[in-house]
Structure formats: structure tokens, C-alpha cells
């Protein structure tokens, strides 16, 4: 087994307390992860603060941006290392990780390196009583040391989505990856050193949430702001910790995202899109579709087409040719998802396909596998329709009228994303404007423009990320007034 160390002040740090990372494919132990205690968290925060006051804080924006672009090239040079680490931790197919996770994880640095060099600033000329006037202009300054708490479903991509803009704006970071996916965040520490990012700018601490690295990090008074992607309950606990010191937070939390399928849709494109949104990454996507509303004339045809598509998905290990679905991230998460599968059956759902664990050969039977699952026959008040499951499953329900489906789609505590499938342009605009979600797709899913605002409404988050919207969180505007 390999050892996964903390990365503090440019060095890899071992600790006496460790935990085992298991493979999601067969539950075999694959790494010893060194858990950070309060002392390691404090060392990381102090290192980040020293770098903020030191070489990183004094770098001109152009030089900082060039270093971040160097990270893109360095990640590309070590592409296979990142790919192996990501697939080992998550079990996701190499075809997915190689086309999404690693390239987008690197691209996040370039996007924000380019943006920080071109972001506009405010400038005002103002009259004064003596007639000579004044000039007011705003400059952006880093917030300070950012606590970055990352999820396990897209480990590198979602981590750099936060670290990229934080560093571009001149902040320093202490990153706590999920205990389920420690490897790529740690590997990025090696790349930071290779590129020449000053020690202390990027730090990684490993551990769990309560009474471990997560809680120690969010409670530390030296953390100036906290950004988190994960489930809503954890976000609530982090927000309580952040309130001590009135520190700002940026949260991308849970979702129970709907798709609305009108009878006039392009059915082939809609089926393809809904298969992706329900089952990509084994359903472990915050933007995934766990509720599908289909206009009644199309309902039966849609369900049968979606069933055929789900049953054509190939389940297997990352290296297998043609694999479209891997295991869930862990046995613990498998147990959670299967508890909903059992609950759906108890509530009388019609299991269109799936509903259990696929037969896997030999040692793979010990892995965290579940079947892609489609249900019908449950109402909007069912826990299957209301609670985030975060697995490869979706509930398909019919609807009769536009106003009805808008009301039902919005009848949720969450508000992250929605997809609408129709060839009626007027309807698309009309319905999209009424959906209570931070991101609405029309005739697509997961089509992202990285400069556009991204975030959730209601219990799906606080704030927006992407483009200048990220800069609003990672910088503070300072107004300078010059009397002429």
C-alpha cells in the first residue's frame, strides 16, 4: 500500500494517526492516509498566512497568472499519474476521467489565470464643493487564507474549480479533500513544487469531518473564508463554524434536480441526455437528474426507451473497454443508495429496471456496485421524489399541463439545476424563467461555460462560482478616493 501524506508548506508530512483507503471496485486496501490533527491544521494555516504576507503576496498579477498556466502544462505532463489516482479513488471509467476530470481540472487554472489579467475595475469622477473634483477607483485584494473543502465525486475538477480562482486572486489555500478521494489533491502538491509555486501557497490536510481535519479547519481563526461543495447538512455545520468571526462562505450543496420532457422534444436527443444526466459517474453528480417529468402522450414510449438505454450500459472497472458505469465511491455510500432502492420497493414503486446489485465476478463482488435504476408509480410526496439519493437512479412521472409541471418541478427544498426538453422556443424561454434553480439547460445537460454563474438556490447553496462571479468571493474591493 502507498502512503498518502499531508502537504504543508511545500513538504509532505506524516502523522501517527492514519486511516485506510479502500478500492471501490473490490474493497481492497489501496493506501494509508495520514490524518491531520489540530497541530497539522495550525501548521498549514500558519504556512498559508506566511506565504500570503511573503513571496506570493508580492508577486505581480501577470507573474502569478503565468505560474498558474504552468500548472496546466505540468498536469498535462503527468496526465497518466492523475488519471490513475482519480480512477483508483473513485472507480470511474477511464473514458470519463480522461475526457472530463483531468482536462477540466487543469483547465480551471488557465481560465482564471486569463480572467485575472482582464477583469475590469470601477472608476468614477466626482464633483467636490470646491469645484476641483475627485477620483474614485476600486482595486481588488485577496481575502486571505481560504479553507477549501472538497467532495469525492469529481475530486480534481471541483477542487481546482475553487483553488484556481483563489490562487489567481492572490489568496493562499488549505485544502481538505474528501477522505474517500485523497490522491489527486496530494499529487497536485508535487506539481506545485515542480512549477515553482512558493511553499505555503497550497496546503493539503487529510481527515474526516467532525472531530477531525474538517472541523479543525473550519473552526481555525486563521481561516478568512470557507468554500465547500457537498451535502446540505454538512454545509449547515460549516456555516455555524464560519459564523464565529463572521467569515464569508461559498457553498454548492445538494440537489434533487428535475428534467421536464415535453411531447414535442427531439426524442433521440432527450433519451441520450436523460441517460447521461441520470447515470453518468454512477449518478454521483450534484447536477444529476433524479426526477423526470414526461408529458403524458410521450410517457410510455419515453419510459421504454430510457429502460433500453439503461440496460445497455456496461458496468465494470475503469480499464475495461466500453465501460460506461463504475462502482459507487464506497460501501458506505452503496448502503445509502441501496436503502433507497429498498424503500422504493416498500412504497410500491414499479421498478422499470435495476433496483439492486449487479452480479460481479470473483473479488469484484466485494465492491460498491449498484444497478442503474428507473422507477415509476410514486407520487411527489414520496421520499424517492424529495430526498437526494446521489446514485444511478431516477423516478419518471407523467404530467398534463405546463403550469402543473412547473409547480411540481419547483416543489422541492433544493434548487440547483433543471433540464428542459422541447422544440418550442417560446415554451423553452417561458418555462426556464419560472424554474427555481441556479442553472437551467434547454435541450442539453452538463453543457458548461466556465465564465457563466454557477450555484444553487434554496438549500442548494450560497453564492455563485465561475468567471467574475468567483472573483467576487475570492477578492475584496477596496475603494480609493483621490481629492484633486
Write the pLDDT tens digit of every residue in 84-121.
999 999 999 999 999 999 999 999 999 999 999 888 88
Does residue 1 have a pLDDT over 90?
no
Count helices and strands in the chain by DSSP H and E runs: 17, 23
From the list 86, 179, 180, 252, the catalytic residue is 252
Instruction: Decide: pTM greater than 0.75.
Output: yes
% of residues, the chain, pLDDT over 90: 97
Asked if pLDDT for residue 134 goes beyond 90, the answer is yes
Q: Is residue 147 within 8 Å of 174, Cβ to Cβ?
A: yes
Q: Which of 49, 3, 241 is nearest to 142 (CA)?
A: 49
Q: Among residues 428, 393, 385, 391, which one has the least CA distance to residue 409?
A: 385
436-445 pLDDT, tens digit per residue, is 999 999 999 9
286-323 tens-digit pLDDT: 999 999 999 999 999 999 999 999 999 999 999 999 99
State yes or no: is 11 an active-site residue. no
DSSP state of 99: I
pLDDT band at 344, cuts 50/70/90?
A: very high
Q: Residues 206-229: pLDDT tens digits?
A: 999 999 999 999 999 999 999 999
Residue-wise burial string across 47-77, b where 16 or more C-beta atoms lie within 10 A, e elsewhere:
bbbbbbeeebbebeeeebbebbebbbebbee
**Angle at which helices 183-195 and 61-77 pack, to 10 degrees?**
120
The pairs formed by 232-236 with CB atoms below 8 angstroms and a separation of 24 or more are 232/414, 232/459, 232/460, 234/209, 235/461
Which pLDDT does position 117 carry in this prediction?
Answer: 87
- List domains and CATH numbers for the chain: 2-253+460-483 (3.40.605.10), 257-449 (3.40.309.10)
Q: What is the pLDDT of residues 227-282, one digit of tens each?
A: 999 999 999 999 999 999 999 999 999 999 999 999 999 999 999 999 999 999 99
pLDDT of residue 143: 97
DSSP state of 58: H
Amino acid at each position: 500500500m502507498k502512503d498518502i501524506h499531508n502537504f504543508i508548506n511545500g513538504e509532505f508530512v506524516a502523522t501517527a494517526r492514519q486511516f485506510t483507503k479502500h478500492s471501490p471496485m473490490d474493497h481492497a486496501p489501496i493506501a494509508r492516509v495520514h490524518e491531520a490533527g489540530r497541530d497539522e491544521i495550525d501548521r498549514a494555516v500558519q504556512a498559508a498566512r506566511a506565504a500570503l504576507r511573503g513571496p506570493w503576496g508580492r508577486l505581480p498579477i501577470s507573474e502569478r497568472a503565468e505560474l498558474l498556466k504552468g500548472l496546466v502544462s505540468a498536469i498535462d505532463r503527468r496526465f497518466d499519474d492523475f488519471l490513475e489516482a482519480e480512477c483508483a479513488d473513485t472507480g470511474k471509467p477511464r473514458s470519463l476521467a480522461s475526457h472530463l476530470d483531468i482536462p477540466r481540472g487543469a483547465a480551471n487554472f488557465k481560465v482564471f489565470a486569463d480572467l485575472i489579467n482582464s477583469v475590469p475595475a470601477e472608476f468614477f469622477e466626482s464633483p467636490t464643493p470646491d469645484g476641483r473634483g475627485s477620483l474614485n477607483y476600486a482595486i481588488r485584494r485577496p481575502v486571505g487564507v481560504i479553507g477549501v473543502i472538497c467532495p469525492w465525486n469529481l475530486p480534481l475538477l471541483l477542487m481546482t474549480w475553487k483553488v484556481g480562482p483563489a490562487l489567481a486572486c492572490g489568496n493562499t489555500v488549505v485544502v481538505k479533500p474528501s477522505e474517500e478521494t485523497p490522491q489527486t489533491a496530494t499529487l497536485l502538491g508535487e506539481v506545485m513544487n515542480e512549477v515553482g509555486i512558493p511553499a505555503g501557497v497550497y496546503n493539503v490536510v487529510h481527515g474526516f469531518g467532525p472531530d477531525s481535519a474538517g472541523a479543525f479547519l473550519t473552526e481555525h481563526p486563521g481561516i478568512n473564508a470557507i468554500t465547500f461543495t457537498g451535502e446540505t447538512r454538512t454545509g449547515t455545520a460549516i456555516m455555524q463554524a464560519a459564523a464565529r468571526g463572521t467569515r464569508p462562505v461559498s457553498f454548492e450543496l445538494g440537489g434533487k434536480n428535475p428534467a421536464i420532457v415535453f411531447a414535442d422534444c427531439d426524442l433521440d436527443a432527450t433519451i441520450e441526455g436523460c441517460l447521461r444526466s441520470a447515470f453518468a459517474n454512477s449518478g454521483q453528480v450534484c447536477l444529476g437528474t433524479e426526477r423526470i417529468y414526461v408529458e403524458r402522450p410521450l410517457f410510455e414510449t419515453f419510459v421504454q426507451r430510457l429502460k433500453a438505454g439503461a440496460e445497455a450500459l456496461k458496468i465494470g472497472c475503469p480499464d475495461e473497454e466500453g465501460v460506461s458505469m463504475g462502482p459507487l465511491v464506497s460501501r458506505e455510500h452503496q448502503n445509502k443508495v441501496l436503502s433507497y432502492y429498498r424503500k422504493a420497493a416498500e412504497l410500491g414503486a414499479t421498478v422499470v429496471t435495476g433496483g439492486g446489485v449487479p452480479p460481479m465476478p470473483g473479488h469484484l463482488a466485494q465492491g460498491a456496485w449498484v444497478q442503474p435504476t428507473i422507477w415509476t408509480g410514486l407520487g411527489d410526496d414520496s421520499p424517492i421524489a424529495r430526498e437526494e439519493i446521489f446514485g444511478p437512479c431516477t423516478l419518471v412521472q407523467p404530467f398534463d399541463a405546463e403550469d402543473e409541471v412547473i409547480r411540481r418541478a419547483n416543489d422541492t427544498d433544493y434548487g440547483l439545476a433543471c433540464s428542459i426538453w422541447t422544440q418550442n422556443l417560446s415554451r423553452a424561454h417561458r418555462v426556464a424563467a419560472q424554474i427555481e434553480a441556479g442553472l437551467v439547460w434547454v435541450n442539453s445537460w452538463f453543457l458548461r461555460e466556465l465564465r457563466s454563474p454557477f450555484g444553487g438556490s434554496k438549500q442548494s447553496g450560497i453564492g455563485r462560482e465561475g468567471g467574475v462571479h468567483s472573483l467576487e468571493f475570492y477578492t475584496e474591493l477596496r475603494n480609493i478616493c483621490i481629492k484633486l
